[in-house]
Amino acid sequence: MIMSPFNIETCARPNILALEPYRCARDDYKDDGTNILLDANENACGPPLTASAVSVASTGSGAEIDFLGLHRYPDPHQRDLKQLLCNLRNIHVHTEKSITPDNLFVGVGSDEAIDALLRCFCVPGKDRILVCPPTYGMYSVSAQVNDVGLVKVPLLPAPEFGLDVAKIKEALSTEKNVKMAYFCSPGNPTGSVLAKEDIKQVLEHPTWNGVVVVDEAYMDFAPEGSSLAEWVAEWPNLVVMQTLSKAFGMAGIRLGAAFTSLPIARLLNSLKAPYNVSSPTSALATYVLSDEGLAAMQRNKERLVRQRNRLLEELPKIRGVGRLRGGVESNFLLFEMLNAEGEPDNRTALAVYETLAENRGVVVRFRGKEHGCVGCLRITVGTEDEVTRFLEAIEQVLAEVNGGKTETPADEAKKEAEANGVVA
């Protein structure tokens, strides 16, 4: 037998060879069905579906899924679904103009839009994108896949985690071949909504010929009217990405959307595979965007917000939990873990993360290696029972890790007051 001269190391593209497979916290801990999963920012309340929404029907309309029609390709344009998304976002807070289905691209989660935009605007091996760490990791991964470079301008320090507008504008003026700027609002892992005025300043850059991308995956957990989706009717170079994975609890169907100007939408829709959104995905998305689905989503969101507020109240009382870093406009919170000396510490945070999962069946996410997030765990908001179990577990685990020596923020405040002659 003659051996093939094939050598993957010299045949594959170097930027692809350098990739590492995507890993999540669950890769480290086998889920036997009893774990509490507070690591991936999923909606713990589940999807807002009724039995009728997923019924099997040979013919059907509305939200029913025609499983017997799966031998036919899905609608390649999805205009009805796009109109529902427009109805949701035409709030006329940021503009009197209305967006239409022609302003939309829909695809397999926001990740398809992230990648499609890179392929539309960036020449491999030449162009770059700007990102603001700490931020969602797929911007960098997708850039690497497409052989596109990175320019990094970190967010302002915690707890604000806002855009450093001056440095961003400077980078866009001086760095060569920057075609896009990816901003995450609310941020992941920061949970902070970016200021509209800051984004506007970038859009108004006098010399930069590029695209501003605002990823609003968690926007439905933010105050009403925060989304900038309808603003794409005003700006030719703005893209606003959203998803049904978070507040809508539909992570399993992988449906994302990009709102943008008509020319950019036309490019994205020309670039995509013909039938990128499946019929079941479209039917389920149509249902959750209906009046019934939206009402159920709202009820689930209110349940999660109550538990988010509960975590905000209870976590600072636990010995060894430090400061909240970032905002509260998402379905997760970023908190410091303190060592025995009362300092945020990655070794402590990693030990808490591992012990929670291995010994308590509670999986959160260690984010201590992210810029400005030393000692931090990202904690997804769960159901009432899940939050109860988490709070009990983290108090016990922190006591084990630190030997019961760490002071609470309340203890520290009391000591400082006493030192200053203030009687608490």
Among the listed residues 161, 170, 125, the one whose alpha carbon sits nearest the alpha carbon of residue 143: 125
Tell me which of 227, 255, 289 is where a domain ends: 289
The domain spanning residue 260 has which CATH number? 3.40.640.10
Judgement on whether residues 369 and 311 belong to the same structural domain of the protein: yes
Would you list the DSSP string of 26-66? GGSS---S--EE-SS---TT-----GGGG-B-SS--TT-B-
Residue 125 belongs to domain spanning:
61-289
Query: How many Å separate Cα 4 from the centre of its chain?
Result: 44
Phi, psi of 370 (to 5 degrees): -75, 150
Distance in angstroms (rounded) separating the CA atoms of residues 194 and 372: 17
CB atoms within 10 A of CB 411: 12
Judgement on whether residues 17 and 159 belong to the same structural domain of the protein: no
Between the CA of residue 21 and those of 18, 255, 267, what are the distances in Å? 10, 22, 29
Judgement on whether residues 79 and 129 belong to the same structural domain of the protein: yes
Among the listed residues 146, 105, 142, the one whose alpha carbon sits nearest the alpha carbon of residue 268: 105
pTM (2 d.p.) = 0.85
In a domain, 315, yes or no: yes
In a domain, 322, yes or no: yes
pLDDT by residue for the chain (424 residues), tens digit each?
A: 665 454 657 655 676 567 565 566 556 666 666 777 777 666 677 677 665 555 533 334 445 666 667 788 888 899 999 999 999 999 999 999 999 999 999 999 999 999 999 988 998 999 999 999 999 999 999 999 999 999 999 999 999 999 999 999 999 999 999 999 999 999 999 999 999 999 999 999 999 999 999 999 999 999 999 999 999 999 999 999 999 999 999 999 999 999 999 999 999 988 888 889 999 999 999 999 999 999 999 999 999 999 999 999 999 999 999 999 999 999 999 999 999 999 999 999 999 999 999 999 999 999 999 999 999 999 999 999 999 999 999 999 999 998 855 555 555 555 555 555 554 4
Judgement on whether residues 273 and 145 belong to the same structural domain of the protein: yes
In a domain, 50, yes or no: no
The domain spanning residue 360 has which CATH number? 3.90.1150.10
Judgement on whether residues 111 and 186 belong to the same structural domain of the protein: yes
Between the CA of residue 262 and those of 232, 233, 299, what are the distances in Å? 9, 9, 34
Judgement on whether residues 158 and 100 belong to the same structural domain of the protein: yes
In a domain, 45, yes or no: no
Q: Are 333 and 376 in contact (CB under 8 A)?
A: no
In a domain, 114, yes or no: yes
Distance in angstroms (rounded) separating the CA atoms of residues 97 and 81: 20
In a domain, 420, yes or no: no
Judgement on whether residues 279 and 323 belong to the same structural domain of the protein: no
The terminus-to-terminus CA distance of the chain in angstroms comes to 85
Judgement on whether residues 34 and 73 belong to the same structural domain of the protein: no
Tokens representing residue 157 in the block: 């320090």
Paired with 151 in beta bridges are: 130
Judgement on whether residues 103 and 222 belong to the same structural domain of the protein: yes
In a domain, 1, yes or no: no
Tokens representing residue 385 in the block: 């029972």
Judgement on whether residues 187 and 320 belong to the same structural domain of the protein: no
Beta strands in 64-120 (DSSP E): 104-108
Distance in angstroms (rounded) separating the CA atoms of residues 38 and 365: 8
Judgement on whether residues 145 and 29 belong to the same structural domain of the protein: no
Q: Is 177 left (phi over 0), alpha (psi -120 to 50) or beta?
A: left
Distance in angstroms (rounded) separating the CA atoms of residues 8 and 401: 45
Paired with 242 in beta bridges are: 257
- The answer to whether the Cα torsion of 231, 234, 240, 242 is positive or negative is positive
Among the listed residues 120, 115, 145, 118, the one whose alpha carbon sits nearest the alpha carbon of residue 129: 118
For 163-290, where are the alpha helices, taking DSSP H only? 165-174, 196-203, 262-271, 279-288
Q: In total, how many domains does the chain have?
A: 2
Judgement on whether residues 100 and 191 belong to the same structural domain of the protein: yes
In a domain, 5, yes or no: no
Tell me which of 236, 269, 289 is where a domain ends: 289
Tell me which of 239, 269, 289 is where a domain ends: 289
Q: Is 243 left (phi over 0), alpha (psi -120 to 50) or beta?
A: beta
Distance in angstroms (rounded) separating the CA atoms of residues 243 and 257: 6
Average pLDDT, the chain: 87
**pLDDT tens-digit profile of 83-108?**
999 999 999 999 999 999 999 999 99
Distance in angstroms (rounded) separating the CA atoms of residues 86 and 194: 22
